[in-house]
Amino acid sequence: MAFLVVLPLDPPVLVLKGLTVEFPTAEGLIRAVDRVDLEVRRGERLALVGETGSGKSVLLLALLRLLPPAARVFGEVRYDGADLLRCSADELCRLRGRKLAYIPQGAGGALNPVFTVVFQVAEPLMLHFGLARTAALSRALSLLDRLGIPEAPKRAFDYPHQYSGGMKQRALVAMGVAAEAEVLLADEPTKGVDWARREEVLALFAGLEGKTILAVTHDLWFAEKFAHQVAVMYAAQLVEVSPRESFFDRPLHPYSCALLAALPARGLEPLPGYAPAHARYGEPGCRFRERCPRVFDRCREEPPLFEHRGRQVRCWLYAGGSKGSGQDL
């Protein structure tokens, strides 16, 4: 499968600085995303992986200001010079859809059940480009056909409940790419898709040549096939950022190692215990320490994100710095 080559010096198109998201609850503030710094380069495909509840989907929604009003969001999200967290509603509206498109999860009813699929794909074209209804429907139909909806001229006019999981995912991708946005933000693209159909979803994303894609996924099979870079979240923090091959050949963070060891092809070794509850995030120390086989005294302090041989890792084992004096696992 051919992927665009991204040079390390390509400029970042999307830059997150200290992105933090908090939600007020009866028990106090919950920090769902904690001081995340991340860059996505032009044309890069980045997979953001981690367990359910690690904060990855909240991060994605925060980028586009799609969180409920009660959410408190701090930090910066820079796209093309604009700070998406602070730009005006008009500016944000101009960017969303045209420049930055969100592709929601497919199985959970992200499509509106009362409209035909083709209408939902056509809607952004009418909204963002002022296309007449007939022209927008025609372009939406051709897009659905191109994205592999079988018998598209007929099935495009079906309602979402008449689609399989794989077809719904294609329709969601069609909605995301209809306005030809430069950056696609995809939430769990393979969630709810049959095992046999995941290859189709992968081919779909691989065919989006030239797009910058940030995909949140718990599906490491998809991440390995799809991504240039893998970023790992644990308990609201970024704990590793590595090129795809390095990550799958030689993961750095003990949590990354455990994630890979739990894959069927790598021994199906379960990770013991649970991630700490949100209420414990403020406690001192590494958030992985109660599950970590490498825990040692220093882990009572919170580790920063260390640079390590061109990669990033939040673990005291790598405190030696980028010249490689830290340990390899």
Smallest distance, ligand SF4 to C-beta of residue 237, A:
11
Does residue 299 belong to the site contacting ligand SF4 (CB under 6 A)?
A: yes
C-alpha 173/C-alpha 170 separation (Å) is: 5
β partners of residue 18: none
C-alpha 218/C-alpha 250 separation (Å) is: 19
Does residue 288 belong to the site contacting ligand SF4 (CB under 6 A)?
A: yes
φ, ψ of residue 133 to 5 degrees: the values are -55, -45
Q: Which of residues 103, 183, 223, 292 is near ligand SF4 by CB under 6 A?
A: 292
Number of helices followed by number of strands (H, E) in the chain: 10, 12
Does residue 178 belong to the site contacting ligand SF4 (CB under 6 A)?
A: no
Q: Which of residues 295, 307, 309, 329 is near ligand SF4 by CB under 6 A?
A: 295
Residue span binding ligand SF4 (CB under 6 A) among the ranges 41-49, 163-171, 221-229, 286-294: 286-294
Does residue 319 belong to the site contacting ligand SF4 (CB under 6 A)?
A: no
**Closer CB to ligand SF4, residue 212 or residue 312?**
312
β partners of residue 16: 38, 77
| Residues contacting ligand SF4: total by CB under 6 A | 12
Specify the DSSP class assigned to residue 302.
P
**221 contact partners, CB below 8 Å, separation of at least 6:** 198, 263
Smallest distance, ligand SF4 to C-beta of residue 303, A:
5
Smallest distance, ligand SF4 to C-beta of residue 289, A:
4
Q: Which helix (H) or strand (E) holds 119?
A: helix 117-129
Residue whose C-alpha is closest to residue 68's, from 24, 16, 113, 120: 24
Smallest distance, ligand SF4 to C-beta of residue 310, A:
19
Q: Which two tokens stand for residue 244?
A: 């795809």
**Closer CB to ligand SF4, residue 60 or residue 286?**
286
Q: Tell me how crowded residue 261 is: count the other CB atoms within 10 A of its CB.
A: 14
Residue span binding ligand SF4 (CB under 6 A) among the ranges 183-191, 214-222, 263-271, 288-296: 288-296
**Closer CB to ligand SF4, residue 55 or residue 189?**
55
Q: Is 178 exposed, middle or buried (0-12, 13-18, 19+ CB in 10 A)?
A: buried
Does residue 289 belong to the site contacting ligand SF4 (CB under 6 A)?
A: yes
Q: Which of residues 49, 173, 286, 305 is near ligand SF4 by CB under 6 A?
A: 286
Backbone torsion region of residue 254, taken as left when φ is above 0, otherwise alpha when ψ lies between -120 and 50, otherwise beta? alpha
Task: Name which of residues 237 to 256 contact ligand SF4 (CB under 6 A).
Answer: 254
**Closer CB to ligand SF4, residue 181 or residue 315?**
315
**Closer CB to ligand SF4, residue 233 or residue 315?**
315
Chain-centroid distance, C-alpha 194: 20
What is 142-211 written as a DSSP string?
A: HHHHHTT-TTHHHHTTS-GGGS-HHHHHHHHHHHHHHTT-SEEEEE-TTTT--GGGHHHHHHHHHTSTT-
Residue span binding ligand SF4 (CB under 6 A) among the ranges 52-60, 221-229, 262-270, 294-302: 294-302
Q: Which of residues 99, 139, 197, 294 is near ligand SF4 by CB under 6 A?
A: 294
**Closer CB to ligand SF4, residue 106 or residue 254?**
254
Q: Are 169 and 83 in contact (CB under 8 A)?
A: no
**Closer CB to ligand SF4, residue 27 or residue 297?**
297
Does residue 326 belong to the site contacting ligand SF4 (CB under 6 A)?
A: no
Residue numbers at the binding site for ligand SF4 (CB under 6 A): 254, 286, 288-289, 292, 294-295, 299, 303, 315-317
